[in-house]
Amino acid sequence: MRAYLIRRLLQVVPVLFGVSLLVFGMMVLIPGDPARAILGSYATPENVAALEADLALDQPVHMQYVSWITNVAQGDFGRSYSLNRPVFDEITERFTATLLLAGTALVIVVLLGLTAGIVAAVKQHKWQDRAFTIGALVGLSMPSFWLGLIFIVVFALNLGWFPTSGMRSAFGGGGPLDIAHHLVLPATALALVASGVIARITRSNMLEVLRADYVRTAQSKGLASRWVVMRHAFRNAIVAIVPVIGVQIGFLLGGAVYIETVFGWPGIGRMLVNAIGTRDILLVQGGVLLVATSYVLINLAADILQAVLDPRIRVE
Amino acid sequence: MTTDIHAGRAGDPLLAVRGLATHFTVEGEVFRAVDGVDLDVARGEAVGLVGESGSGKTVTAMSVLQLIPDPPGRIVDGSIELEGTDLVTASDLVLRDVRGNRVACVFQDPLTTLNPVLSIGEQIVEMIRRHQDLSRKAARGRARELLEAVHIPKPERRLDEFPHELSGGMRQRVVIAMALANDPELLIADEPTTALDVTVQAEILDLFIELRERLGMALLFITHDFGVISELCDRVVVMYAGKVVEEAPVDRVFEDPRHPYTRRLIDCVPALGQGARELEVIPGLPPALNRLPDGCAFAPRCDVVEEACRRGEIALRPLGDGIAARCIKPGARP
């Protein structure tokens, strides 16, 4: 297990290096002069020259990268010109909001997707299976932003059960209950599509393991069918489902861009959309780097969890 | 469909299967995998169930514990009584108290019958604690004893290992140890040596012989190998195309098989020291179970077939001394 862990951690290093190169590349590859792009077309040549020196743009590309990555490693992502505050402060604050949204959605995805998939597999060809299959298909075929709009119309505007947008009420808001209340619609809209994916993969994996010989062995021991399904079948099926959940977390973080825009959620997705609009390159860089890194680390965690769940993976 | 040979035997059997019919429906076609099987196993008796692949022996054995996947399989007729309790109509709870406790199973392929993600110890302890009121620690101690009983070296360490860390033969020993966990009255072994290397086969067979002498449980041993039967069993039941075609005490069947199919199967056993002899085969294939011929199902492959064999159902006829054959001219030779 330890050898697997070390090997897997070492594999992450080149991936993160690649990510940093791509993010850094945004600065180099952007058409025109980055300093001018940051400062806008009315900047004086002195200001542009000062910023170029500040960003090490007057040096060769590889030196630029070294100085950029050194700063990033120290938590210095530069300063957002459009917000006039350190990029680091902005992205950590926004990312917290996104994590809250995506994390809540993840809980819904896991509970709904796994339950639906298990029930559908155990009740194969029965009405529960058909209902879940249709439900999963509908979930899969609906874009989350459209679902979000429908939710706003139905549950916020018509029924008035939930607020239409934002994370806190304007007056006297901000408590845990207030935030939870704001969270319900965007988290559910974000979760439904991913739930469909998990439900389908769970169903097909469960169908496969339910036919396995060791499930028959478990039945022959006199175990209750619920126990057979969970401890013997599901315990095996989950091994293959965990990496898919890892990928879906990436999808939730990415999908948050639409949902945050639709629901006015102050997360990193909406921040990125705005930053791109205002050409705040440093903010875009910081945001993309953070999202990409967390995606890599989440999938690393999923792989490690898979190895914990399946003794065969550890030896390979 | 009770035949008098069963009714006439002294004492009630431990297991009494009567008129068992297990059919499989695939894409609207009905496959009669088991069709009217009678089978008795007395206390402490070892019965060998023999036949080619697809003869219905595994389906018969799996029907006993209701382990036939439904769909596509289904017990459509008959009864399976374990000392008076009909397992076909028994409630789920009654059935679960029998499974693994009074009747335990050893399956064919030890590579796939153990759960790959649970340790050996977890799997045996689970079996013990389902049927015995033991603490986790006591059950683990019992599991270690069981591994010792099937001659697994370093049993304490094996408990924490996973199936993939063991060889095929060791895994089958684990499966056997697990089956013995609750001192079953009947052990069903479905070709437990078929998937193993030849040398390991002999070891596992020796283990069965030793365990039977030591523990005295009844055994329903499924195989397609008559050689195995002669070493291990008291009585033989031969199946063909979902029906019992002959049953007899082991010593009698080798001396004087009554059904032509049994005779041909025995001829197929390669004997050591007769290396030069050409290996016997039975020409042709068993009939498709969804298109069984009229009359004797073996008729198309039989070397003593005559016109009467192809007409009407042929009954399993008692021939005395616990022998019965489904043949109109038992003992005939070409």
The confidence score (pLDDT) of residue A141 equals: 81
pLDDT in tens, B193-244: 887 777 888 888 888 888 888 888 899 999 888 888 888 888 999 998 888 9
Q: Which pLDDT band, with edges at 50, 70 and 90, does A195 fall under?
A: confident
Query: What does residue B82 show for φ and ψ, rounded to 5 degrees?
Result: -105, 100
Q: Which fold has domain B6-102+184-325?
A: Rossmann fold (3.40.50)
Q: What is the ipTM of this complex?
A: 0.83
Query: Count of A–B CB contacts within 8 Å?
Result: 77
**Percent of chain A, pLDDT > 90?**
11
| Nearest by CB: A222 against B101, B114, B119 | B101
User: Above 60 in pLDDT, residue B272?
Assistant: no
Query: For chain A, how big is the Rg over CA atoms in Å?
Result: 24
Q: Which residue has the higher pLDDT, B135 or A168?
A: B135
> A315 near A307, Cβ under 8 Å?
no
User: Above 70 in pLDDT, residue B166?
Assistant: yes
A154/B contact by beta carbon, under 8 A: no
Mean pLDDT estimate for chain A = 84
The confidence score (pLDDT) of residue B114 equals: 92
Cα distances from B283 to residues B57, B261, B280, in angstroms, run 21, 11, 9
Summarize the confidence of residues B90-97 as an average pLDDT.
89
> B16 near B40, Cβ under 8 Å?
yes
Instruction: Work out the end-to-end distance of chain A between its first and last CA atoms, rounded to an integer number of angstroms.
Output: 10
The confidence score (pLDDT) of residue B11 equals: 60
Q: How many CA atoms does the CB half-sphere of B243 hold within 13 Å?
A: 23
CA distance B298 to chain A (A): 31
B-contacting residues of A 202-241, CB under 8 Å? 211-214, 216-225, 231-232, 235-236, 239
Residue at token pair 């990193």: A268
The confidence score (pLDDT) of residue A170 equals: 67
Quickly list H helices, chain A.
2-29, 34-39, 45-54, 61-73, 87-122, 127-141, 144-151, 176-210, 213-220, 225-227, 235-263, 268-277, 281-309, 311-315
Interface touch A216/B97, C-beta < 8 Å:
no
Q: Would you give the distance in Å from CA B328 to the centre of its chain?
A: 27
pLDDT in tens, A148-173: 888 888 887 888 788 877 777 766 66
B101/A contact by beta carbon, under 8 A: yes
CATH number for A87-315 (one of 3.40.50.970, 3.40.630.30, 3.10.510.20, 1.10.3720.10): it is 1.10.3720.10
CA distance A36 to chain B (A): 59
Contacting residues for A301 by C-beta, under 8 A, at least 6 apart: A246
Judged by average pLDDT, the poorest of A53-62, B197-206, B317-326 is A53-62
The confidence score (pLDDT) of residue B271 equals: 62
User: Above 80 in pLDDT, residue B315?
Assistant: yes
Cα–Cα dist B1/A182, whole Å: 71
> A162 near A184, Cβ under 8 Å?
yes
User: Above 80 in pLDDT, residue A101?
Assistant: yes
B99/A contact by beta carbon, under 8 A: yes
Mean pLDDT estimate for chain B = 84
Residue ranges, comma separated, of all CATH 1.10.3720.10 domains in chain A are 87-315
In chain B, where the domains are located: 6-102+184-325, 110-183
